[in-house]
Amino acid sequence: MSIPKNPRAVVTGAAGGLGRALCLALAQRGAKIIVSDRDLPGAEATARMVGEAGGVGHAVNCDVTKIADIEQLATLADEKFGGVDLLINNAGVAVSGPVGAIPLKDWEWIVNINLWGVIYGCHVFAPRFKAQGSGHILNVASAAGLLSAPEMGPYNVTKAAVVALSETLSGELRLQGVGVTVLCPTFFQTNILHNSRSESLAQSMQDAAAQRMQQSKIQADDVARIALQGCDRNELFVVPMADGKWAWRMKRLAPESYFAFMPRMMKYMEKKTAK
């Protein structure tokens, strides 16, 4: 269930950020990769970098909200590489703000990408892996899906659903020789804030998030490496950052205390950043 040598992979949301970092980490393993994204020029740039790093990249336009596009990824992997060993459902966006203030169209937007995109990927590739008796699915969620911070409802909901789907798949596929890993990082530098939608969220909160992303000692390349190592060990949960691990532990040990503490911590972060 670990990633084989010279793996054949499909990666969504691979035009930049963590998706690109995952592709480059795989390239160092001699991987052949279907590099997919709605941003085709960005995907093509990633594919070139994959080639320079020792792998083979094939860029393709893919909208993860369309099942036909995900089916096309499987077909292309068969045509180009003779199959797939690793699926990485990475494409994602963010929506923030209070529940009730966030427009329903933004809820629909994020659910279609963050959740349905992962569902489609698992729907298409899980039966293939099960039939071949091998393969690994890496679903990129977030510590948000474990911790449920205030004013991040749509993001929390979609990422928590990805965690639940990954847990379910692990139970269904483990005895079939197929691995499932869900990645739950906290803050590191990506383009997600630039591609997010926000409603009535204090600018200081966005600034706090950006500051924590910049200051993180673990960045995209590290997250990618740690994630793939987790797949190698067939770990279900990969939580790369210490703050995420400690917060998740606190929530599990004392959930009432955790949710009483969380709003105060958010206000403290907001005030600290505003100074």
Catalytic: which of 120, 155, 258, 268?
155
- 153 close to 102: Cβ distance less than 8 angstroms: yes
The C-alpha angle 182, 230, 189, rounded to 5 degrees, equals 70
Nearby residues of 49 by Cβ (< 8 Å), 6 or more positions away: 20, 23, 24, 27, 57
C-alpha span between 186 and 238 (Å, rounded): 11
Backbone φ, ψ for residue 146 (5° rounding): -100, -25
Helix (H, G, I), strand (E, B) or coil at 241: coil
Radius of gyration of the chain (CA): 18
Q: Is 258 a catalytic residue?
A: no
Nearby residues of 72 by Cβ (< 8 Å), 6 or more positions away: 60, 62
Q: Which of 72, 21, 79, 77 is nearest to 50 (CA)?
A: 21
List residues with catalytic annotation.
155
